[in-house]
Amino acid sequence: MFSLLIMAPLLSMSTAGAASFRYAEDQAPGIVNPLFSTTMGEARVNELLFDGLYSDSQELATVPDLVQSDELSEDGLTLTLRLRSDVSWHDGRPLQGQDVAFTVQAMKEPGTLSTEAGRVSFIERVETQGDSLVVLHFTEPQVRPQDKLTFKILPSHAFSSTVVTRSDSFRTRPLGTGPYKLVTYNDDNSITFQANSEGLGGKARIAEVVMREVSDKSYQAKLLLYESLEGLVRVLPRDLAVLQNNRKIELYPYQTNSWWYVGFNQARAPFDDARVRQAMSYLVDVDALLAPVGTGEVLSGPFVRSSPFYNHQVSPRTYNDTRAATLLEEAGFASEGGMWTRDGEPLTVTLSAHRTLESAQEVVINLQSQLRSGGVTVEVEFLDEAEWKARIWRQQDYDLVLSQWSFDRNEDVREQLHSDGARNFGSYSNPEVDALLNEARATRDPQVKKAALRKVHALASQDSPMIFLWTLDSYSAISTRVDDVVIHPFYFFTWVRQWHMGS
């Protein structure tokens, strides 16, 4: 009854134009600015709006996108790029070399605090010659620098300085060269995009893309079934059976390199003590946490099981209350009436979870229950997007987080685990891990890299900067009205230009 009431306005949107591709996100991106994207939802919108110098072909090879031709110097220290001359920004201004220079500089700029700064650290400086010639100077010799130049290019004329803030007005009026341009932010938090007729390779075949915010994932599947949507980015495990049996809907595997975790804020007592973190992970029965969420695989470290870096010699922690008790006692805790205390203070922690994280409620309740039985009191708070970014990312004001990381096929955990990683908001720091991560990045021997990262896996499992939970198989669901759909395994919309609406 209530559900119908809530759905009524959502259903009414089914009358929108037939030629538009409407897809659902759990939460509309608050910021559309590639310098600051931290979520998959933002990455997907970036893909619609912006282009990189290079991008992936459907065979996942690096192919030129904004670049006409390139030439790597013999010493591997400079790459000369000639930009395509037929590309213009959504406002009609032509793409110029200074846009590339600006983008790199803005990402590198310490004042910008870009979450993507690591992506350009190998570029020493950018030189422009004329309108379309760009010379990139590298800090060290590169073999295939093109592979690293897939970040999105921003228009220099839309910014006043290379120091860009998160609140820059660009976030609501983004300007790109991508296949779609942002037309309106609608009242219902949806965003309408229109095909960019000046885009690379001509106008995209679907005239309009609409991103709709549907925070309740249960309704996402229903809206797709009622043809009020054309696509779901990620389907809940419990909806898979229904969608797989529906002939009007196709399922596409999507984004498999992702894992859930409970992260500790190691800058804060008591989680600065590895023994407390380990003890907590011994108090958690991950299988029991996973059971109500769906089918997935329990992990022992920061890689998914199919990753070459996954260390199969390390087994996932299993519930062991005696081990936990020993560790907590070593860390100075004592059990009083079944609850752990230190210096008279009970061990009470707050667990923060993102409001839209699917099935988070089940996990949180379950975790709260398990830790209560283990003698730890957990209070729970659900944060919305803005609070999350402020509290977790910027202020690092939290005890525990429940969240999920998604990786592209490189599964580079450096940003998460290196002591200077941009996504290391738990303040994890282990010099040995830092060294191994550096080695893994530097080496050109895959087996050395594999060995180094497998060791990182073992160390991370030992240090427990987070309780590694599981990976879930995820699928996108797209209406059969949309043809020639090919989904990029990470960025989703990379090949959206070729998608089209069938008859």
Partner 1 sequence: MSALRPWAGVALLLLPVLIWVLSLAANYDVIADVDVSRASLAPSVDHWLGCDHLGRDVLWRLITASESFVGPSLFACVVALVIGVPAGALSGWLGGLPASLTRFGLTTVASLPRFVLVLLVCAAFGNSVQLIALAAGVAYAPTLAEAIYARIQSFRHRGFVLAGQAHGLRSGRILWLHLLWVNHRRLILRHCVQLFAYFLLLETTLSYIGGLDGAGSFGVAQPDPSWGNMIAFEWREPQANIWATLAPGLATALVLLGATWTGRSLIEEQA
Partner 2 sequence: MLLLWLSCTPTAPPMAPSPLDSAWMGQIMAQPQLFTQTVDSERTAWVALHANSWRGAHRGTGTPARRASDLHADLALRVAGLEATGWERTLSAWSPLPAGSALPFFAGLSALEAGGAPTKWWKLIDTDADPVVLQATQAMLKQPTLSTRLADTMGNPLLERVDQHLAARLGESEEWPSGTAWTEPLSSGEARSIPDPQLPWTLSVMLLSTDQAVGMEALLFSDCLSASVCGPDAMAVLGVDPNLGPSDNPNLARSIAQSLDQVLDTWARDQRKNASPEALGLLEDLQVVQKFRGQLLLSLADEALDQGHPKQAVVLVQYAMDLNAPRTLGPVNSPTHFAVLAQAHLESGHTREALDALEVLTRSYPEAVGADEILGDLAILEGLDRQGDSKEN
What's the distance, CA 477 to chain centroid?
A: 19
Is residue 76 part of the contact set for partner 2 (CB under 8 A)?
Answer: no
Q: Is 84 helix (H, G, I), strand (E, B) or coil?
A: coil
Residues between 425 and 444 with contacts to partner 2, criterion CB under 8 A: 439, 443-444
What minimum distance in Å lies between the beta carbon of 369 and partner 1? 4
From the list partner 1, partner 2, none, pick the one residue 370 interacts with, judged by a Cβ distance below 5 to 8 Å according to partner type. partner 1
Using CB under 8 A, which of 132, 366, 464, 479 touches partner 1? 366
Residue 139 backbone phi and psi in degrees, to 5 = -75, -30
Using CB under 8 A, which of 159, 170, 271, 475 touches partner 2? 475
Residues between 219 and 248 with contacts to partner 1, criterion CB under 8 A: 238
Could you give the CA distance from residue 263 to residue 433 in angstroms, rounded to a whole number? 17
What minimum distance in Å lies between the beta carbon of 456 and partner 2? 12
Which residue, 215 or 406, has its beta carbon nearer to partner 1?
A: 215
What minimum distance in Å lies between the beta carbon of 469 and partner 2? 14
Secondary structure (DSSP) of 301-316: SSS-TTSTT--TTSPP
Using CB under 8 A, which of 295, 315, 369, 462 touches partner 1? 369
Is residue 407 part of the contact set for partner 2 (CB under 8 A)?
Answer: yes
Among residues 357, 447, 457, which one has the least CA distance to residue 417? 457
What minimum distance in Å lies between the beta carbon of 339 and partner 2? 32
Question: What is the identity of the amino acid at 160?
Answer: S
Tokens of 197: 């007729």
- Helix (H) / strand (E) element for 47: namely helix 40-49
- Helix (H) / strand (E) element for 120: namely none
Secondary structure (DSSP) of 413-468: -HHHHSTT-TT-TT----HHHHHHHHHHHH---HHHHHHHHHHHHHHHHHH-SEEE
Residues 6 or more apart whose Cβ sits within 8 Å of residue 463: 274, 277, 428, 430, 433
Which residue, 251 or 274, has its beta carbon nearer to partner 2?
A: 251
Is residue 39 part of the contact set for partner 2 (CB under 8 A)?
Answer: yes
Tokens of 67: 């670049």
Per-residue string for binding with partner 1, 194-223, x by CB under 8 A? ---------------------xx-x-----
Burial of 279 (0-12, 13-18, 19+ CB in 10 A): buried
Stretch that binds partner 1, among 8-16, 260-268, 342-350, 365-373 (CB under 8 A): 365-373
What minimum distance in Å lies between the beta carbon of 382 and partner 1? 4
What minimum distance in Å lies between the beta carbon of 144 and partner 2? 4
Could you give the CA distance from residue 118 to residue 31 in angstroms, rounded to a whole number? 20
- Residue 341 pairs with which residues in a beta bridge? 334, 346
Which residue, 49 or 158, has its beta carbon nearer to partner 2?
A: 49
Using CB under 8 A, which of 69, 121, 335, 373 touches partner 1? 373
Which residue, 362 or 483, has its beta carbon nearer to partner 1?
A: 362
Is residue 450 part of the contact set for partner 2 (CB under 8 A)?
Answer: yes
What minimum distance in Å lies between the beta carbon of 2 and partner 1? 6
By CB under 8 A, name the binding residues for partner 1: 2-3, 6, 215-216, 218, 238, 288-289, 291-292, 353, 355, 358-362, 365-366, 368-370, 372-373, 380, 382
